[in-house]
Amino acid sequence: MTLHERRDDQRMKRLSGYDDVRAAAKKRLPRGIFDFVDGGAGGEVTVWRNRAAFARPEFDPHFLADVADRDTSTTVLGQRVAMPFLLAPAGLARLAHPRGGELDAARAAAAAGTIFCVSIASSYSIEEIRAVSDGLLWLQLYLWKSDEVVARLIERAKAAEYTALVLTIDVPAVGNRERDIRNGVSLPPKIRLDTALDALRRPAWVASYLRSSTIGMANLREVVPGDVGSVAAYVDRELTDQRATWDRVAWLRELWDGPLIVKGVLSARDARLAVDYGADAVYISNHGGRQLDSSPGTLDVLPEIAQAVGSRAEILLDGGVRRGQDVVMARALGATACLAGRPWFFALAAGGQAALEQYLDIVRRDIDRTLALVGVPRLDDVDASTLR
Ligand SMILES: Cc1cc2nc3c(=O)[nH]c(=O)nc-3n(C[C@H](O)[C@H](O)[C@H](O)COP(=O)(O)O)c2cc1C
């Protein structure tokens, strides 16, 4: 082990949580890739709001409450998880870790007893990911223009025993990611003269990237003949159907008999519609602030959405969830489970499966510690009275 590697190893042992994982990823990833993951749309007001929302509620701790036997496990859409902190769908994970990508994520999620929601834009296919893990997998879809493509993908998800379908509705157009424009980021990344210098400072990532055959959209290889470039053009053209209305949710409901989740809900109005059209869960998300800037922080809209949905559906939430404490707070405000995107990408970049397992363990231990500190030993007993 070189001196440099030994120092990195020491640093990984002292990981305290998300901030360290992000800092480690920043060191390892080329600037354009780091910014692609870290950044958001426009002035990144919503990225900030997602985090700021967690600073508002206050816990109301009860002490001397016998918290010796604690339980962080719960049930999400009928499935038992060790903790309600799931991996949100994020495409092209081999950008974070060119070899491990979604395979490492699936293995780490299974080891942590939680669910990995695979993006349809994953860099390994639905089947390749299933082959390395017998853990719980969900599949996220966009509303493609072609019904046949969607139906075929759903068939493949069923065959590979993915247990829930997540329909993302917040991409009628791709958000304006100013950092990507500034950095000249194209997907998949091309090493150009002006990025070469930066890339040379990240030799490990570049070597690993050049060895990986393709980072392109693995699930679409079967439907789009040709090279990665033509897959990218296809995605640009067909990614989302701008004419789509809620009727498409009803159509999906017919095709898929497992749990159906609608992702990208930010209002009580859309939450009610999602349930009316057959969703089993409403997934509150602003795409991590990557779509419409100045949309609300997700935790800020959780109470009104929880009230609108009542017991008709479960509620999932992502956007700025970084610690176990955040999960307990979201549960107190009515969410069944939280998901996170950037954390698992950065953990993979920091150190593959091992680093992600370590991060997930930090989150689980923080949920456990928070339960002791608020005086509610079982996560399932956390409710509005846990907050002031
Ligand atoms: C690099 C990256 C790629 C993403 N790709 C997708 C995707 O393919 N489908 C999707 O529904 N959401 C995607 N998202 C959004 C995440 O599912 C999630 O909503 C968001 O990351 C949550 O915010 P957080 O990163 O603050 O946890 C992506 C997010 C990131 C950071």
Residue 287 CA to ligand 1 center (angstroms) comes to 5
Domain total in the chain: 1
pLDDT tens track for 86-115:
999 999 999 999 999 999 999 999 999 999
Q: From atom 27 of ligand 1, which residue's Cα is the shortest distance away?
A: 340
Task: Name beta bridge partners: 71.
Answer: 378
pTM above 0.75, yes or no: yes
The vertex-182 CA angle with 177 and 188, nearest 5°, equals 70
What distance in Å separates the CA atoms of residue 165 and residue 263, rounded to the nearest whole number? 10
Q: How far is the CA of 90 from the centre of ligand 1 (A)?
A: 5
Q: What is the pLDDT of residue 3?
A: 73
Q: Is 287 in the pocket of ligand 1 (CB under 6 A)?
A: yes
Q: Which residues are catalytic?
A: 287
Residue partners of 62: CB distance under 8 A and separation at least 6: 374, 375, 376
* Ligand 1 center to 168 CA (angstroms): 10
pLDDT at 14: 85
What is the domain-level CATH number for residue 17? 3.20.20.70
C-alpha of residue 288 to centroid of ligand 1, in Å: 6
- β 260-265/164-168 pair status: parallel
Cβ of residue 169 lying under 6 Å from some atom of ligand 1: no
pLDDT at 197: 67
Residues in the chain with pLDDT values less than 50: none
- pLDDT, tens only, 232-279: 666 667 767 889 999 999 999 999 999 999 999 999 999 999 999 999
Count CB-CB contacts under 10 A for residue 346: 27
Domain that holds residue 329: 3-386
- Indicate if ligand 1 lies below 6 Å from the C-beta of 140: yes
Q: Which residue has the tokens 């990614």?
A: 239
Ligand 1 and 168: CB distance under 6 A: yes
- Residue nearest to ligand 1 atom 13, measured at CA: 90
Element (H, E) at 284: strand 281-284
Show contacts of 305-311: CB within 8 Å, 24+ apart: 305/265, 305/267, 305/268, 305/271, 305/334, 306/333, 306/334, 306/335, 307/268, 307/334, 308/268, 308/269, 308/271, 308/272, 309/271, 309/272, 309/275, 309/282
